[in-house]
C-alpha cells in the first residue's frame, strides 16, 4: 500500500490510467438509464465480482482479522514476545492468508468469465476495494446464485 | 431487467443493430471517435432536442467482455470530459434498429432526457476512495487507547478475548473514519453534488462520487492532491475519472 503513495507524476493520489477493469465495473455496473427490455448482457461474472467483494466483511471475521493485525503490529514494533504469543500470531497469519487468497482467486475467476486478462487491476490484494453499496445488489444476488455456487466450489478447491 | 436477463440470448442476437451508449443533445458534433469494438461507427440517432449515441454491437458474441465495459466507459468519459453533455445508459443496452431507439427511448422520454442533460451539462464525475493505511492507523489506535492496550495484553487463545479486542479496535476505527471522512470531504469542496456509498470495511475512510463543474475539474484535482498529501502515509486516496455522471441521474 505504501507503494501506492509514491506515484505517477509525483502525485499523492493513486490514479489508475487507464482505469482498471475493477474500477470500470464498479463505476458503470448497475448505473445509467435503463430501457428495461433491451439490456442484454451476460453479466453473471461481473455480478460475482461485486458480490464476493462484499461478503469479505462479516463482522466476526472482521473482528478477528483486526485483533490479529493489532497483535502482529505489536510484535513488529517491540520485536520480542514469548513463544506462545509468537505461535499464536503465526497461526492466525496463516489463516488470514488463506482467506484473502480465496478472495483473490474468486476475482481472478471473474475476470476470466468476462475475458479481462488484458487489463488486470493493480489492486494490492487488500480486501474491500470493490465493495459497493445498495439494495440493487439484492437482485443480483438471487439472479446469479448458480454461478455463485460454482465460484464457491472453485474457492474450496484452492 | 431481471426478466430480460433471464431471457437474454448468450450469443449476439442478429436483429440487434444499435448499441446505445447514452443520450446527448441533438446536433452534437462527434469528434473523431475511437473506431474500435463497441464504438465502431459511432453515430447519432436524433429525435427532437435529444439524440441517442449509437455504436455497432459485436456481431457474433454476447456483450460483457472486459473490452466492452472499457469501451462503454471510455466513449462516455471522452465526451463528458470534452464538454459534451451526456446521459449514460445502462451498460448492455441493445436495440434492434434506429426506429426502435426513437420509439422506445427518445420519444417517450424526451422531456426527462432534456432535464437530465441539463443536470450533467458541463459537469463530470469523479469517484474517490480513501482508505486508512492499516498499520499506521492501528498503531495510532493502540497508542491512544489504554483500554485497547489492556485488551491486547489480555487477549489469549480464547476466541472471546480476541473478539473483544477486535470489536473494540474496529469500533475505534469507525470513530476515526467519521472524523477523517468529514474533514476530507470538506477539503475538496466545492463540488456540485456528492454521493457517499455505504461501506463495511473498517479501513475505508470514504467511498464517494462527486459531480464537479468541468471548469473546476483541474482545481478540484488540485484540492484533492493537497488533501492526499496532508494524509500521506496515513490515508491512501484513489481517484477514478473524470467520467460521465453515472451516479447523478436521479433527482436533479
Any idea where the domains of chain A sit in the sequence? 2-56+98-157
Look at B91 and A66 and tell me if their CB atoms are within 8 Å. Answer: no
Q: Cell numbers of B121, please?
A: 451539462
What ipTM is given for this predicted complex? 0.76
Q: What is the mean pLDDT of residues A38-46?
A: 58
Q: Which residues contact A129 (CB under 8 A, 6 or more apart)?
A: A22, A53, A121, A123, B129
Alpha-carbon distance of A45 to B86, in angstroms, equals: 28
Q: Cell numbers of B54, please?
A: 449509437
Alpha-carbon distance of A62 to B202, in angstroms, equals: 8
pLDDT of residue B49: 97
From A105-119, B50-64, B75-89, B122-136, the region with the lowest mean pLDDT: A105-119
pTM: predicted TM-score of the whole model, two decimal places = 0.71
Alpha-carbon distance of A63 to B163, in angstroms, equals: 6
β partners of residue B24: B51
pLDDT of residue A9: 60
Please tell me which residue of chain A has the smallest CA distance to B104.
A35
pLDDT greater than 80 at residue B235 = yes
Q: Does A123 touch chain B (CB under 8 A)?
A: no
Alpha-carbon distance of A73 to B125, in angstroms, equals: 38
Look at A39 and B93 and tell me if their CB atoms are within 8 Å. Answer: yes
First to last CA, chain A: 25
Chain A residues with CB-CB distance to B252 below 8 A: none
Stretch (H or E) spanning B207: strand B204-213
Alpha-carbon distance of B209 to B130, in angstroms, equals: 12
Question: At the topology level of CATH, where does B124-145+177-248 sit?
Answer: Alpha-Beta Plaits (3.30.70)
Strands B123-132 and B43-47: unpaired
Query: DSSP class of residue A54?
Result: H
- In chain B, list all ranges with CATH 3.30.70: 124-145+177-248
From A89-93, B58-62, B152-156, the region with the lowest mean pLDDT: A89-93
Q: How does pLDDT run across A127-153, given as a tens digit for each residue?
A: 444 434 333 333 333 333 333 333 333
Look at B152 and A127 and tell me if their CB atoms are within 8 Å. Answer: no
pLDDT of residue B251: 52
pLDDT of residue B32: 65
Amino acid at each position: 500500500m505504501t507503494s501506492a503513495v509514491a506515484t505517477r507524476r509525483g502525485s499523492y493520489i493513486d490514479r489508475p490510467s487507464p482505469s482498471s477493469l475493477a474500477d470500470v465495473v464498479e463505476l458503470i455496473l448497475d448505473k445509467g438509464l435503463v430501457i428495461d427490455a433491451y439490456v442484454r448482457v451476460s453479466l453473471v461474472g461481473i455480478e460475482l465480482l461485486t458480490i464476493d467483494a462484499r461478503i469479505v466483511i462479516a463482522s466476526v471475521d472482521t473482528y478477528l482479522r483486526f485483533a490479529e493485525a493489532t497483535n502482529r503490529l505489536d510484535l513488529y514494533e517491540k520485536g520480542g514476545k514469548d513463544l506462545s504469543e509468537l505461535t499464536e500470531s503465526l497461526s492466525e497469519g496463516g489463516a488470514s492468508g488463506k482467506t484473502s487468497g480465496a478472495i483473490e482467486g474468486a476475482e481472478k475467476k471473474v475476470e476470466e468469465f468476462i475475458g479481462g486478462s488484458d487489463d488486470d487491476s493493480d489492486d494490492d490484494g487488500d480486501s474491500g476495494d470493490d465493495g459497493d453499496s445498495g439494495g440493487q445488489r439484492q437482485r443480483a444476488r438471487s439472479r446469479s446464485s448458480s454461478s455463485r455456487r460454482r465460484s464457491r466450489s472453485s474457492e474450496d478447491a484452492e | 431487467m431481471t426478466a430480460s436477463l433471464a431471457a437474454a440470448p448468450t450469443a449476439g442476437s442478429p436483429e440487434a443493430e444499435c448499441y446505445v451508449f447514452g443520450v446527448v443533445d441533438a446536433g452534437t458534433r462527434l469528434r473523431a471517435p475511437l473506431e474500435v469494438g463497441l464504438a465502431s461507427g459511432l453515430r447519432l440517432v436524433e429525435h427532437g432536442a435529444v439524440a441517442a449515441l449509437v455504436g455497432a454491437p459485436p456481431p457474433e458474441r454476447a456483450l460483457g467482455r472486459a473490452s466492452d465495459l472499457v469501451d462503454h466507459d471510455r466513449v462516455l468519459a471522452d465526451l463528458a470530459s470534452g464538454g459534451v453533455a451526456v446521459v449514460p445508459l445502462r451498460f448492455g443496452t441493445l436495440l434492434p434498429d434506429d426506429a426502435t431507439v426513437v420509439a422506445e427511448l427518445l420519444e417517450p422520454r424526451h422531456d426527462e432526457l432534456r432535464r437530465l442533460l441539463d443536470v450533467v451539462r458541463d459537469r463530470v464525475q469523479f469517484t474517490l476512495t480513501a482508505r486508512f493505511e492499516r498499520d499506521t492507523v492501528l498503531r495510532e489506535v493502540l497508542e491512544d487507547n489504554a483500554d485497547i492496550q489492556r485488551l491486547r495484553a489480555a487477549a489469549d487463545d480464547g476466541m472471546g478475548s480476541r473478539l473483544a479486542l477486535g470489536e473494540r479496535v474496529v469500533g475505534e476505527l469507525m470513530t476515526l473514519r467519521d472524523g477523517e471522512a468529514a474533514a476530507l470531504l470538506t477539503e475538496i469542496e466545492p463540488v456540485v453534488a456528492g454521493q457517499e456509498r455505504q461501506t463495511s470495511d473498517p479501513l475505508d475512510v470514504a467511498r464517494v462520487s462527486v459531480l464537479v463543474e468541468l471548469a473546476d475539474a483541474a482545481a478540484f484535482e488540485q484540492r484533492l492532491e493537497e488533501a492526499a498529501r496532508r494524509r500521506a502515509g496515513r490515508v491512501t486516496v484513489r481517484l477514478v475519472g473524470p467520467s460521465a455522471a453515472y451516479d447523478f441521474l436521479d433527482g436533479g
